[in-house]
Structure 1
Amino acid sequence: MIKPIFGILVLISSLNTAIACDFKDISFDANYDQGGLARCEQLSETEFILHIEPEDTPINPSPWYNFTISSKVATTVSIAISAGDARPRYLPKRSLDGSTFEAIPFTLKDGDMHIAVEVNQQPVMISAQQVIDNEDYVQWQQTLTEKTSLLQREIGKSTEGRSIYALVHSKPENKEWLLLIGRQHPPEISGAQAYLAFAQAMFIEHANESFLNRFNVLLVPNMNPDGVAHGHWRHNVKGTDLNRDWGKFTQAETQAVYGFINEIIQAEQRIVFALDFHSTQQDIFYTMPSDYGLAPALFSEEYLADLKPHLVSSFTLRERPGSSPGRGVLKQYLADEFKIHSITYEMGDNTPLEMVNHVATQAAKVLQNKMLATPPEAFIFKPE
């Protein structure tokens, strides 16, 4: 057990590979999947600074934190969560079971997030967002395959050897594929929640037999299992943003999906549309421009227009057309390589779970109808 003198910095680990730190009565622990804590500093018996650090730099500043606190005696602990020069992005949440989270009060001072937590011997989890870890995906995939036509397939290994799984719905006579990608960026939990709700709506609550009789579907819900395990802010363990590696395919994770896409092409089938789920500060749907030369030219624009009337009036549907040649973004790669539309589906960091689920459910229902209403030949790009 480490018993530091007040004011002395205790180095726990470097670059967000979190372990734990024990003081006289109070302990902090992040030694588990998706834990995020780099080092601890004790200021008094009940005052601490907890430092969180990115996996590498430069990096998109999305400071992730997740740790538990316990105390031998009941007390209130004052904590400053410091991410150095990176401003806080995620609002702090508290959980006693690791599944149910509630927002807690905080203040910002000098760029650090300050919270007060009542603790005793039962560990209290403090997290940037609700936790969806690698084991959650395993359990979710098992449930989905038991209840649906989806089959689980390991399509590759991550850099550290974790399985990258796909869920596949396919029929030999189907030639058109929908691609659903998730969790390229580990801390983007609202996007991950949207992915799970979307898939469940498409295959359970609102499964459309006509859609499944025409289209094959490839789901890759967890692209970055190493980053999830280590509580990364953005990258995989090789310091690469996976959503900047499409078309380059330098990483094991993107290579795994690319291998399956090649199988589709070799079988003389084709991807016709894709969704890539993320999180950002607002709810935004990033699309390719309608005049970019894709097939059908107005598919994404019309899909989002069809979706809007099915959403509650308090939800603002923001469409952001744009292109980013050469950056390795998935939707850009699919546009340039296959001449198809796709959408980067971003949920706001603080969008309530009920709203995330509502939008995803409606998005799945409307997309099935939109794709069914589009003739197969309309998905094939024909140069003028």
Structure 2
Amino acid sequence: MQATLILLMQMTKKDIQLAIRPDVGGEFFQWFNFRLSGQIGEQYVLNILNAGEASYLEGWENYQAVASYDRQHWFRLPTSYKDGKLTIMVELECETIQIAYFAPYSYERHQDLLAAVQVHPLVTLEHLGETLDKRDLTLVKIGDGAAHKRNIWITVRQHPGETMAEWLIEGLLYSLLDSDNATGKQLLDKANFYIVPNMNPDGSVRGHLRTNAVGTNLNREWQSPSLDKSPEVFHVINKMEATGVDLFYDVHGDEALPYVFLAGSQGTPSYSDRLAGLRDKFSDVLKLASADFQSEIGYEIDAPGAANMTVATNWVAERFDCLANTLEMPFKDNDNLPMKRWVGRQSVLSN
């Protein structure tokens, strides 16, 4: 990832003044990921001066930045927000520390994940097309492709700063492919999986919060994608049309709400009692399977016929008459289980 903070001024160790660099196009910013070097035992105070202009101000309430010395194990730092300024405090235990909005999921780790899963006999990697920065858009196909099986589609990181999404999909992939995992085996007996582990590799490498290389929010492109603005969505839709979709799962992160929850397709024109029943059953089963998930707190449900059809979940539900959900996970600690310290690895374990 590129550096996402600009050093404005360093008055003292107690007042290092920084600013978050916006996504291309300038509409969105909140993601940051940078390295601090200093003296062991010294305390440093980092002030992000443009935090009050960020995309989601509610995201700073009760928020704590994450940090790591080895870039493997992440922990929270004392963080406060006041008068438009985000202040992060750290006392160094090593000379260098990585500090980020959430545990990063690097493009190198993404490539390592693809390489690791492709050796499994049930896995095929398919090149769907190129991004605007000429990176591969890769589909992970799991299963024997039998026509009688359900086709489950999962897309991840349309918004590149929502790194918890790819942490989760890493855990899901390894669980599905674990020969000792009875649940994974049962799922593969009944379904073929089509998983895009990173819908937005360009934005991921550029350090964007929500957009691709030209500033397009991919999750507002599903009704009319184009090769000029949103080739990522264009290529995925083409493949969906070829396979069909029986269940769709779009994985995201929410800046403000400290919970794991689903956002469904209730406002789509063709939403039916059948889909409502499937959604309720899916939610109930997910609560039994994961203590992190809850259904009491989430987004306001769209009125009938009022759904934004440019959003992936709504478009897929309407096009394929299937159960479609957006899974949202928090950037903050999960308030339901605060002792677990929700960072990167916890997203892996929540699958």
TM-score, with structure 2 as normaliser: 0.81
- The one-character-per-residue Cα deviations of 1:289-340 (angstroms, maximum 9, x if unpaired) are 398138655212111122323343x753346654654441111111221111
Higher relative contact order (CA 8 A, sep 6+): 2
Alignment of 1:44-59 (within 5 A): 44=12, 47-56=15-24, 59=27
- CA–CA distance in structure 1, aligned partners of residues 117 and 13 of structure 2: 48
Match of 1:259 among 238, 243, 252: 238
What's the counterpart of residue 334 of structure 1? 316
Q: CA RMSD in A?
A: 2.8
- CA–CA distance in structure 1, aligned partners of residues 13 and 322 of structure 2: 59
What's the counterpart of residue 130 of structure 2? 157
Match of 2:284 among 302, 305, 317: 305
- CA–CA distance in structure 2, aligned partners of residues 59 and 284 of structure 1: 26
What's the counterpart of residue 295 of structure 2? 317
The structure number with the bigger radius of gyration is 1
- 1:139 matches 2:118: no
Q: Secondary structure at the match of 2:73?
A: coil
Q: Secondary structure at the match of 1:51?
A: strand
- 1:278 matches 2:252: yes
What's the counterpart of residue 14 of structure 1? none
- The one-character-per-residue Cα deviations of 1:244-281 (angstroms, maximum 9, x if unpaired) are 111211211111212212332xxxxx211110000112
- CA–CA distance in structure 1, aligned partners of residues 155 and 69 of structure 2: 31
What's the counterpart of residue 188 of structure 1? 162
Q: Secondary structure at the match of 2:245?
A: strand
What's the counterpart of residue 171 of structure 2? 197
Structure 1 gaps, min length 5 = 1-32, 265-269, 361-384
What's the counterpart of residue 245 of structure 1? 221
Distance 1:129 1:355, change over 3 A: closer
Distance 1:73 1:311, change over 3 A: closer
- CA–CA distance in structure 1, aligned partners of residues 177 and 295 of structure 2: 24
Structure 1 residue 119, shift from structure 2 partner: 4.7
Q: Is the 8 A contact 1:180 1:220 kept in 2?
A: yes
Structure 1 residue 56, shift from structure 2 partner: 4.5
- 1:70 matches 2:37: yes
What's the counterpart of residue 122 of structure 1? 95
- The one-character-per-residue Cα deviations of 1:146-184 (angstroms, maximum 9, x if unpaired) are 245111122111110111111112434325311010011
Distance 1:49 1:326, change over 3 A: same
Name the stretch that deviates more: 248-257 or 64-73.
64-73
Structure 1 residue 74, shift from structure 2 partner: 7.0
Q: Secondary structure at the match of 1:80?
A: strand
- 1:40 matches 2:14: no
Distance 1:97 1:357, change over 3 A: closer
Amino acid at match of 2:32: Y
Amino acid at match of 1:253: E
Q: Secondary structure at the match of 2:117?
A: helix
- CA–CA distance in structure 2, aligned partners of residues 67 and 56 of structure 1: 18
What's the counterpart of residue 111 of structure 1? 84
Identical positions, percent: 21
Distance 1:211 1:284, change over 3 A: closer
Q: Is the 8 A contact 2:39 2:95 kept in 1?
A: no
- CA–CA distance in structure 1, aligned partners of residues 346 and 72 of structure 2: 18
Q: Secondary structure at the match of 2:78?
A: coil
- CA–CA distance in structure 1, aligned partners of residues 145 and 113 of structure 2: 26
- CA–CA distance in structure 2, aligned partners of residues 324 and 236 of structure 1: 27
- CA–CA distance in structure 1, aligned partners of residues 200 and 72 of structure 2: 21
Q: Is the 8 A contact 2:30 2:209 kept in 1?
A: yes
Match of 1:235 among 203, 207, 211: 211
Distance 1:197 1:206, change over 3 A: farther
The total of aligned residue pairs comes to 321
Structure 1 residue 221, shift from structure 2 partner: 0.8
- CA–CA distance in structure 1, aligned partners of residues 103 and 123 of structure 2: 26
What's the counterpart of residue 20 of structure 1? none
Structure 2 gaps, min length 5 = 335-341
What's the counterpart of residue 166 of structure 1? 139
Amino acid at match of 2:326: T
